Amino acid sequence: MASMRAAMSLGGAVALAMALGWASAAASADSAASDAARIERILAQTPLIDGHNDLPWELRERFAEKAALTDLQQGAGALMTDIPRLHKGHVGGQFWSVFIPVEIQGPLAVQVTIEQIDLVKALAKRYPSDLEMAYSAADVARIHKAGRIASLIGVEGGHQIDDSLPVLRQMYALGARYMTLTHTKNTAWADSATDKPVHHGLTPFGREVVREMNRMGMLVDLAHVSEDTMKDALQVSRAPVIFSHSSSRALVDNARNVSDDVLRLVAKNGGVVMINFYPGFDSDARFRWTAARSGEQARLNAPTFGIDLGQPEKASAALKLWEQQHPEPPVGISDVADHIDHVRAVAGVDHVGLGSDFDGIPEAVTGLSSVDQFPALLMELMRRGWSDADIAKVAGGNVLRAMREAEAVSARLQATEPPSAATLAGLDAPAGRPQAAN
């Protein structure tokens, strides 16, 4: 009898546990469905705007002269971006980077940039039901309301204007609405975050570039620039700046990220830091693991001094053994959300946005590997207690506000200031061509 009562008790406990499990699963499903519905409502009113996608250069690299003919309805190869996934991800506005490598300099840099701008416009023309070129905050709002994706253009490096303000103005005329002051190397007038300091910020001509961008209404993008350059630009700029694809340096001490000192200046400026989805910018463990792996690879196979130099199979086997002994740290959506939370805590909720860097990075964090997965990040913020109003701001509202303010500043400045006639030689002589970009 005792054993029967025990069995009945055990069976009841199992049944109760199963019931509780089902109830928990049902509650979790209801919560996910509720969050998904909230995202639908928010993004129907506010466009989700991604600050940086490198699809144009990726298409050029993969398909050369056939880049504009790539089928973005079906996807192509291992791309992170295509039209069905853009819609699934509720992307309402996309800044397409017209990046070119820093090795391309001078007049050729101008030519290749214009070719990349032409590619963005060709894609919008090819898919008119899905993409439409946008040149203002009002355009973005109108295009989003019509159910299409507002396509904006960002120039990713000051080397692309060949040290010429007339070229800068013509790129604006062609549709560019932001320019990153440097890419991975210094220009003749600004220091990069990932190059040896030469100017220690902006030169006089570099400051004039910022002023002319303000006058035109082109957003000043401080992703990729050194901290001194960030601070100089924030001091000079009369309009909100952006960081189109950067994360927090307090969480990951990577030179590409933004320090708390700069975040406080961004808050005063009215700018927006758009968080990157690259694992090495979002996880300190991954950042340090990657550096350690690179060091081990150099130790094994560096020219002249590598211990396994000239023995590629031995070097490869040794590196694989090191990787087994030092597993790659995982990086997920929560890491990206941590950066968003940190920027909100330091600069305020009005100064944070999204800048994926899709198709410009070799990998993205787990759970945010392509353009269809933006809602997953917003759902993580909801689980952390973010309100609908604040979700709308980080999704795209903050960037739209910065664009409107930059447009208003431009209207005031153009009423009183003529186009700048400044030249690099005139302001920075004898600085000449960039020293560290060769």
Catalytic machinery residues = 52, 54, 156, 183, 224, 245, 357
DSSP notation for 172-226 = HHTTEEEEES-SSS--SSB-BTTS--SSSSB-HHHHHHHHHHHHHTPEEE-TTB-
What's the CA gap between 104 and 110, in Å, rounded? 9
The encoded tokens of residue 42 equal 């928010």
Q: Residue 159 gets which letter from DSSP?
A: G
Main-chain dihedrals φ then ψ at residue 348, nearest 5 degrees:
110, 155
The CB density around residue 272, as the number of other CB atoms within 10 Å, is 31
Which residue type, as a one-letter code, is found at position 11? Answer: G
* Long-range residue pairs from 62-70, CB within 8 A, at least 24 positions apart, any chain: 67/119, 68/119, 68/122, 68/123, 68/126
What is the distance between the alpha carbons of residues 359 and 347, in angstroms, rounded to a whole number?
Answer: 28
Could you tell me the two tokens for 72? 């973005």
Residues 6 or more apart from 348 whose CB is under 8 A from it? 267
CA distances from 384 to 35, 188, 282, 317, 388 (A): 12, 44, 18, 44, 12
Taking alpha carbons only, the member of 373, 424, 416, 407 closest to residue 48 is 373
Amino acid identity at 425 = A
Residues 10 and 59: beta-carbon distance below 8 Å: no
Residue type, 143: I
CA 425, CA 37: separation in Å to the nearest integer?
A: 57
> Angle CA(424)–CA(426)–CA(431) in degrees, nearest 5?
50
What tokens does 171 get? Answer: 């790129």
**Token pair for 263:** 């975040």
One DSSP character per residue, 242-284 reads EETT--BTTTS--TTSB-HHHHHHHHHHT-EEEE---HHHH-H
Only one residue has tokens 């990932």, namely 194
Return d(Cα 365, Cα 339) in angstroms, integer.
13
**What is the spatial distance between Cα 196 and Cα 105, in angstroms, rounded to a whole number?**
19
